[in-house]
């Protein structure tokens, strides 16, 4: 019994450590994204976050500046440029995130609008490559129809550029959902993968996003939407063992097209006007 209790305590501690790292990582991404947008003179061109113990940091070769968070004390530092050759303390990560949130600061990235993203999903950008991850944790996804991980930021002028984006799922699996009928494959695996592979076309997109590549590595808790879906279907033999988790890795790419409405996209949006169309029965219907 003592060994069992110790094992349980160990598992709980490991889970807490993993959750703490996920929060630290996502908050660091938010801070560094905000810094790039707010102080481009010091942190020009989005850079990838590097992880070298005990640091999570980004290096900006154009200015020779490092910016990051020390995982040992959860404090943000900068090095180089006007801050000299010794790490200079900025503030604790918690204080900085509070200031960003309270001021309405944008901790997203240049390539994607992350204002409506799922809690627990972090974004980083290096050049034209965006990385979207849940940092090894499962985050709650109340709606599996929201599959566009990289919404184009709202534009203030019409660019005339139309981009068709598609997401290719490279690996995926579902836990917590099975069938009680021998030989019957899990139907929801194909359904969720198909939803993730939906194509989106954006009109008046910024030209800089034409060559954007988005790599995703996610774990989504889809218990709620799956349970709701099953409740409305006259099916038997599907066994739900909560939590239902969907693990997926994929790559999103885009290409320039002449007319979004002549593509095989499922949805079309206008980054300038905010209008949205959905394909229904072979035709696009405006819904917003």
Q: For 19-51, how does the pLDDT look when each residue is reduced to its tens digit (9 = 90+)?
A: 344 468 878 888 888 888 888 899 988 888 888
Same domain? 201 vs 139: yes
- Domain range enclosing 48: 1-107
If asked whether residues 139 and 277 sit together in one domain, one would say yes
C-alpha triplet 126, 129, 134: angle, nearest 5°: 90
Per-residue pLDDT at 165 exceeds 50? yes
Rounded Cα distance between 233 and 184, Å, is 17
Are 140 and 214 found together in one domain? yes
pLDDT band at 269 (very low <50, low <70, confident <90, very high): very high
Of 86, 107, 128, the domain-final residue = 107
Q: Which among 20, 46, 32 has a CA at the least distance from the CA of 77?
A: 32
Closest CA to 243 of 214, 223, 268, 269: 223
Helix axes 2-38, 93-102, angle to 10 degrees: 50
- Is the confidence at residue 89, as pLDDT, over 90? yes
* Mean pLDDT computed over every residue of the chain: 81
Beta strands in the chain (DSSP E): 50-52, 55-60, 65-70, 75-79, 88-92, 122-126, 129-133, 139-140, 162-179, 200-203, 213-221, 238-257, 267-270, 276-280, 283-286
Bin 237: left if φ > 0, else alpha if -120 < ψ < 50, else beta: left
In a shared domain, residues 225 and 114: yes
pLDDT exceeds cutoff 60 at 279: yes
Q: Which range is least confidently modeled, 1-10, 37-46, 225-234?
A: 1-10
205 and 275 share a domain? yes
Contact 80, 67 (CB under 8 A): no
Which of 107, 123, 148 is the endpoint of a domain? 107
> What pLDDT does 104 receive?
65
Residue 5 shares a structural domain with residue 31:
yes
Out of 107, 133, 163, a domain closes at 107
Same structural domain, 153 and 267:
yes
Q: How many domains does the structure of the chain reveal?
A: 2
Question: Are residues 221 and 283 both part of a single domain?
Answer: yes
Long-range contacts of range 145-148, CB-CB < 8 Å, 24 or more positions apart?
Answer: 145/195, 147/195, 147/196, 147/198, 148/198, 148/200, 148/267
Same domain? 262 vs 144: yes
């Amino acid at each position: 019994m003592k060994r069992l209790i110790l094992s349980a305590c160990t598992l709980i501690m490991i889970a807490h450590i993993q959750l703490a790292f996920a929060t630290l990582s996502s908050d660091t991404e938010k801070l560094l994204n905000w810094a790039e947008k707010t102080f481009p003179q010091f942190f020009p061109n989005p850079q990838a976050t590097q992880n070298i113990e005990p640091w999570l940091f980004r290096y900006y070769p154009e200015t020779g500046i490092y910016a990051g968070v020390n995982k040992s004390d959860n404090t943000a530092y900068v090095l180089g440029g006007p801050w000299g050759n010794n790490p200079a303390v900025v503030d604790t990560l918690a204080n900085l995130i509070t200031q960003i949130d309270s001021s309405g600061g944008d901790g997203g990235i240049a390539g994607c609008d992350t204002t409506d993203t799922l809690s627990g999903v972090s974004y980083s950008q290096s050049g034209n490559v965006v990385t979207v991850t849940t940092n090894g944790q499962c985050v709650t996804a109340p709606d599996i129809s929201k599959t566009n991980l990289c919404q184009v930021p709202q534009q203030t002028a019409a660019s005339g550029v139309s981009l068709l984006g598609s997401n290719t799922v490279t690996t995926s699996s579902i836990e917590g959902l099975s069938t009680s009928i021998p030989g019957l494959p899990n139907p929801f695996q194909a359904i969720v993968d198909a939803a993730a592979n939906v194509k989106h076309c954006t009109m008046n997109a910024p030209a800089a996003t034409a060559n954007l590549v988005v790599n995703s590595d996610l774990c989504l808790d889809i218990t709620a939407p799956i349970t709701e879906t099953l409740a409305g279907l006259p099916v038997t033999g599907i066994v739900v063992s909560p939590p239902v988790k969907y693990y997926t890795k994929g790559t999103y790419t885009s290409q320039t097209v002449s007319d979004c409405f002549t593509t095989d996209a499922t949805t079309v949006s206008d980054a300038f006007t905010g209008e949205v169309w959905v394909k229904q029965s072979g035709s696009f219907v405006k819904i917003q």
